[in-house]
A = this chain, B = another copy of it.
Amino acid sequence: MTEPPAPAAHPRDDAVIDLLGALSYAQLTGFQALASAAGRAPDLRTTTSFARLAVAMFGRFERVGARLAGLGVAQPDAMAPFVAAIDAFHARTAPSDWLEAIVKAYVGDGIVRDFYTQMAAHLDPDNRDFVVRLIGDAGAAETIVALVRPVIAADPRAAGRLALWARRIMGEAVQQTQSVAVERPSLTALLVGGEPGSDVAEVGRMFGRIAEAHTARMQSLGLAS
């Protein structure tokens, strides 16, 4: 594709705002999911650990909000276009017990981190640094792996059920992200390196890379993906 992108006021700025808005709503609902998981924890120490993860997630949400404010955008306005897709994701992956809740936290956190790591490569240096620092701060993964591994090692039936569950979360995340990509062309253009036209194939390749990282995460959890 050699034609210039379709004329929009600031397609790249719009895309950055979209990126930060989608991340904000993923974080806000992630906060709620972690707080809810805390309520299912088997003991008070784990409840406290999960509440702490939720609060750390909200701290990152506030940092993204401050960045959006710096761009002159109210965070709720930036989030609004992504509410339907992310709410649909959560509605279709509502955990039925503690193990499903923490596997969802782990898989969801990993997908968001992979997605934004992929995205960051296509951002200007300033926004890239912001996203990389933000994503680098997430420390939920180790806490969750330490909780889930012994359960899976001790209970092969749980492992089978949770492997299916993780696959379903990955599938729903891909589906909802694709539905957003279709509706937000400037975001999709950013996502694939700013070159509209090669979108479909490149989006497919990006999901391929995210799926590979997902497989590696499942193995570190003791699950076949």
Contact = CB atoms under 8 A, between A and B. Distances in A.
Contacts of A31: 35, 51
A157 interface: no
Interface residues of A, number: 26
Contacts of A65: 48
A83 interface: yes
A11 to B, nearest CB: 24
Contacts of A25: 44
Most chain B CB within a 10 A radius of its CB, from A32, A43, A51, A58: A51
Contacts of A55: 55, 58-59
18 contacts: A25-B44, A28-B44, A28-B47, A28-B48, A28-B51, A31-B35, A32-B36, A32-B38, A35-B36, A35-B54, A44-B75, A44-B80, A45-B76, A51-B61, A52-B58, A54-B58, A55-B55, A55-B59
